[in-house]
Amino acid sequence: MFRGAGDLGGAVVLHQGVALIGRGTIAALDGIDLRIENAVDVGGLRISAPRSVSAIGADPLEHVLFSRVRIDGAIRLDELDWQDGHLDTTGPVTVSGVARLSNDPRHFSYMRDRPLGKQIDTDFTFLQ
């Protein structure tokens, strides 16, 4: 599990040569910027829980940091739980089990430049 911290969220880079193996779940939460410089084959990926950044007198949903997962290569998952956040990959995405793609519209009410929904710029294959 990777979590952002503070008003800037935070960043983690897993460079080439670092292997993520097993059937566990990678979770990107609280505005973290996670970059994995390898293909990924794991049990699950969860992108969720944006971090509210409070400004004096502002609505807590007005300033939100979304987590971002960037993967250099293909992604193979048993399960995908892509809620509020970004997923960028240079290779195709294959999900063999359950895939949930959702957004909480409250996080988008103040963002005129970011429409509600997902931007998918690579091939996705859902096997179930």
Shortest CA distance to 82 belongs to which of 98, 65, 66, 99? 99
User: What is the largest distance, in Å, between two alpha-carbon atoms of the chain?
Assistant: 47
Q: Within 10 A of 91 (CB to CB), how many other CB atoms are there?
A: 15
Band of the pLDDT at 106, cuts 50, 70, 90?
low
Cα distance between residue 58 and residue 56, in whole Å? 6
- Percent over 90 (pLDDT), the chain: 36
pLDDT of 42 reads 93
What tens digit of pLDDT does each residue of 74-90 get?
999 999 999 888 899 99
Cα distance between residue 7 and residue 67, in whole Å? 13
pLDDT of 53 reads 67
For residue 55, pLDDT beyond 60: no
Strands (E), the chain: 2-3, 11-14, 25-29, 33-36, 40-47, 51-52, 64-65, 67-71, 75-82, 85-89, 93-95, 99-101, 124-126
What tens digit of pLDDT does each residue of 19-42 get?
777 899 999 988 889 999 999 999
Q: Which residues contact 112 (CB under 8 A, 6 or more apart)?
A: none
Domain that holds residue 27: 2-126
Band of the pLDDT at 97, cuts 50, 70, 90?
very high
In sequence order, the β-bridge partners of residue 52 are 64
Give the number of domains in the chain: 1
pLDDT of 36 reads 93
Write phi, then psi, for 7 (nearest 5 degrees).
-75, -10
